[in-house]
Amino acid sequence: MNHHVLASVSIAGTTLDLLGGMYLAYDLLGGQHGPLRLLTRIVTYSVIFGIFYGLGLGLIFGIAAGVTTGITISFELNRAATGKPHYPVWGEALCSLIRGAGFAIGLYKQDGLLFAAAFAVLTTVGQIFAYSRGMRPAIDYSPQLRPRLTRRQFLGTVNRVFGWLIAALICSFVSHRVEGAWLFALRVGLTTGVATGAVIMFGPIVEYYADHLPERRMGVFGICLILSGFALQSLQYWVALLDVKVS
């Protein structure tokens, strides 16, 4: 077993313990008007994006892009849920920049600094342009207990597929990555499109439960997180106890 993997598992366990404790302290954190509704969105959307991004473009990209995308989108949707207007231009630009940075971190190891930096710049500019045209995560916002995909959301997803595909092709040209450029660009576009489409379709369900989850279920979920965290943290001790070789 690799020691990096063991450390990652232990960190994940500690994080789950922290999240579980926060859910158990639901009342102390302000109840329905506290931060746990936002936290629920962050965890859920980060996991969804992380899974789809990871399956399509690798574990590192899944973690980096999934977390940054999940966090920024959660803040934007949380504003819509509370009836607040969308962020001003500088706020939306900051969200775009954070997501672009996540893409760069995810692509750096496998594609190099030049490709990653160029992709971050292009996608950040592309997202800011989309915001200026009214295309944002909270478009057609409507919490409900069934999947939903409006015409504008569908068109936004399609545009994202082609936009990210073209961005990947341009970055391949800039970084002189010729071999497999078209195939990789297609993978980037389709991965992004599938992840975006999944979040848009099932987002209404996530939004409904984020604002209507009963307090008792919050506590049960917190206990499950703590138990899961304990199991992950204990792995390092089982490895030592069973004399498993760590490289």
Distance CA 240, CA 234 (A): 10
AA identity, residue 190: L
User: Tell me, what DSSP letter sits at residue 153?
Assistant: H
- Distances in Å between the Cα of 5 and the Cα atoms of 10, 16, 111, 158 are 9, 17, 22, 36
How sure is the predictor about 222, in pLDDT bands with cuts at 50, 70 and 90?
confident
Per DSSP, helices labelled H in the chain are 3-24, 36-57, 59-81, 89-111, 113-132, 151-174, 181-212, 215-241
Do the Cβ atoms of 37 and 78 come closer than 8 Å?
yes
Q: What is the pLDDT of residues 56-66, one digit of tens each?
A: 998 889 889 99
| Highest-confidence segment of 24-33, 100-109, 169-178 | 100-109
| 113-132 and 89-111 helices, crossing angle to 10° | 150
- Backbone φ and ψ for 86, nearest 5 degrees, come out as -65, 165
Average pLDDT score over residue span 147-172: 92
pLDDT score of 243? 66
pLDDT score of 229? 78
Do the Cβ atoms of 13 and 231 come closer than 8 Å?
yes
Q: What is the pLDDT of residues 38-53, one digit of tens each?
A: 877 888 898 889 889 9
Do the Cβ atoms of 40 and 19 come closer than 8 Å?
no
Nearest to 20 by CA among 202, 209, 231: 231
Nearest to 141 by CA among 78, 192, 196: 78
63 SS3 class: helix
Q: What is the pTM of this model?
A: 0.79
| 36-57 and 181-212 helices, crossing angle to 10° | 160
Whether the predicted pLDDT of 82 surpasses 60: yes
pLDDT score of 220? 72
199 vs 9 pLDDT, higher one? 199
First to last CA, the chain: 6
- Give me the chain's average pLDDT, please: 84
